[in-house]
């Protein structure tokens, strides 16, 4: 099979998931490796906004935003039947994302306004690329992803505004808004795909949703997005609803299917994270950053790895059977989450060692993905179809 048919772009730029999953996974390993070493004093560098701003901002608006984009730009083709973003337009979008990562990393070399502007371009561009096919096909059910992307752009604006105006409150609000928006998206997407994937992967009957539980679980998350004041009241209720929702999906029947148990366990970190937020706000029993890392390392890191592994196989025409080593990657990212959260909570006196170990496991997990999926993402589909 030729690498490059005339008239078709390079395989890497034939659909959004290819360059964005690969770029995001590489960046996840590089950025957390750099952050872990910086925290431990092994080396130094001067990112835009300082080390803590950079770490929080880049993991959400660099890494997570790229994966969300890769997923949505690939899914929109399925939803609408309109060919997805590819070729030169996709390459430009990836260049904007990459340029923003580079200027954020080498902060002092660039004027702040340039860094902020470059960084703020990406998500509105994605919203435009999503809106066009959805409107053209009259796909109103999925149009809500466009305002969500614009809200994410607003959250990103708040982080830069907070930094440039010297008001840390705006930065915190921007990070909180993005954290909850991504959590809400994970809850929506997991609700759509987990029961179906589980039934298909285990040869069992699909669990039917309980309408009120679905609505209540999703409403609790959207309220946490919309209203900062709900963060003290809602987390315990939201945690209970999402744990119940998770339990109904029958995790125990997925042990033999790595693409399933990885997804189920990643989702479990959502109720755990909401319970940890409740412990922080109601009883001051846990540091906020520890509670947040249940959602970021466990839920986001775990679900991203599970979904990238599945989507990359499915959309390259391959059977949904990842290489055995991918199971190790799934286990490593979930172990990294446990160490980063419970380890830093229970072994706070050894915090540097705990964070270094969690960083190392995270980096190994994402480098395994890069190594195993490089051939999948950079070669044409095995069935000869476009995409």
Q: Is 333 helix (H, G, I), strand (E, B) or coil?
A: helix
| Per-residue confidence (pLDDT) for residue 386, from 0 to 100 | 84
Stronger pLDDT, 209 or 231, i.e. the higher one: 209
In whole angstroms, what is the distance from residue 154 CA to residue 70 CA? 20
Residue 332 has pLDDT above 90, yes or no: yes
Distance CA 299, CA 185 (A): 11
Q: Give the model's pLDDT for residue 5.
A: 57
Query: What is the spatial distance between Cα 211 and Cα 367, in angstroms, rounded to a whole number?
Result: 40
Q: What is the pLDDT of residues 92-113, one digit of tens each?
A: 999 999 999 999 999 999 999 9
| Cα atoms in the Cβ-side hemisphere of radius 13 Å centred on 266 | 28
Tokens 């009120």 correspond to: 212
Q: What is the pLDDT of residues 58-90, one digit of tens each?
A: 999 999 999 999 999 999 999 999 999 999 999
Q: Are 277 and 341 in contact (CB under 8 A)?
A: no
Length of the chain: 387
**pLDDT, tens digit (0-9, with 9 covering 90-100), for 14-56:** 999 999 999 999 999 999 999 999 988 999 999 999 999 999 9
- Smallest Cα–Cα separation from 64: which of 166, 151, 186, 158? 186
Q: Is residue 269 within 8 Å of residue 302, measured between CB atoms? A: yes
Buried b (16+ CB within 10 A) or exposed e, 94-131: beebbbbbebbbebeeeeeeebbebbbbbbebbbebbb
Complete DSSP assignment for 244-308: HHHHHT-GGG-TT-HHHHHHHHHHHHHHHHHHHHHHHHHH--S-HHHHHHIIIIIIIIHHHHHHH
Domain boundaries, the chain: 13-166, 183-379
Q: How far is CA 123 from the centre of its chain?
A: 14
Mean confidence (pLDDT) of the chain: 95
Residue 206 region by backbone torsions, left for phi larger than 0, else alpha for psi between -120 and 50, else beta? beta
Q: What is the pTM of this model?
A: 0.96
């Amino acid at each position: 099979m030729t690498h490059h048919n005339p008239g078709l772009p390079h395989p890497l730029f034939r659909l959004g998931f290819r360059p964005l999953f690969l770029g995001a996974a590489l960046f996840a390993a590089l950025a957390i490796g750099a952050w872990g070493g910086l925290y431990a004093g092994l080396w130094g560098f001067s990112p835009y906004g300082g080390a803590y701003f950079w770490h929080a901002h880049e993991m959400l608006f660099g890494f997570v935003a790229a994966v969300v984009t890769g997923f949505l730009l690939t899914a929109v083709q399925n939803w609408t039947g309109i060919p997805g973003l590819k070729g030169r337009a996709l390459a430009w979008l990836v260049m904007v994302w990459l340029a923003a990562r580079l200027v954020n990393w080498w902060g002092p070399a660039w004027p702040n306004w340039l860094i902020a502007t470059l960084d703020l371009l990406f998500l509105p561009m994605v919203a435009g690329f999503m809106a066009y096919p959805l409107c053209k096909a009259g796909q109103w059910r999925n149009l809500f992803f466009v305002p969500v992307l614009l809200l994410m752009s607003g959250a990103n604006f708040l982080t830069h505004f907070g930094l440039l105006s010297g008001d840390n409150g705006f930065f915190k609000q921007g990070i909180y808004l993005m954290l909850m928006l991504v959590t809400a998206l994970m809850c929506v997407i997991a609700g759509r795909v987990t029961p179906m994937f589980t039934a298909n992967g285990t040869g069992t009957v699909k669990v039917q949703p309980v309408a009120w539980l679905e609505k209540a679980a999703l409403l609790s998350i959207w309220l946490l997005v919309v209203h900062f004041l709900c963060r003290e009241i809602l987390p315990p209720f939201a945690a209970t609803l999402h744990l119940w929702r998770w339990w109904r999906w029958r995790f125990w029947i997925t042990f033999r299917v790595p693409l399933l148990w990885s997804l189920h366990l990643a989702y479990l970190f959502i109720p755990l994270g909401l319970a940890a937020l409740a412990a922080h706000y109601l009883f001051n029993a846990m540091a906020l950053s520890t509670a947040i890392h249940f959602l970021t390392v466990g839920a986001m890191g775990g679900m991203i790895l599970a979904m990238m592994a599945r989507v990359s196989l499915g959309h390259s025409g391959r059977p949904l059977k990842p290489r055995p080593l991918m199971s190790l990657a799934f286990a490593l990212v979930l172990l990294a989450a446990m160490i980063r959260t419970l380890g830093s909570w229970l072994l706070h006196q050894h915090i540097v060692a705990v964070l270094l170990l969690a960083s190392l496991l995270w980096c190994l997990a994402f480098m395994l993905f890069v190594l195993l999926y490089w051939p999948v993402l950079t070669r044409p589909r095995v069935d000869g179809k476009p995409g």
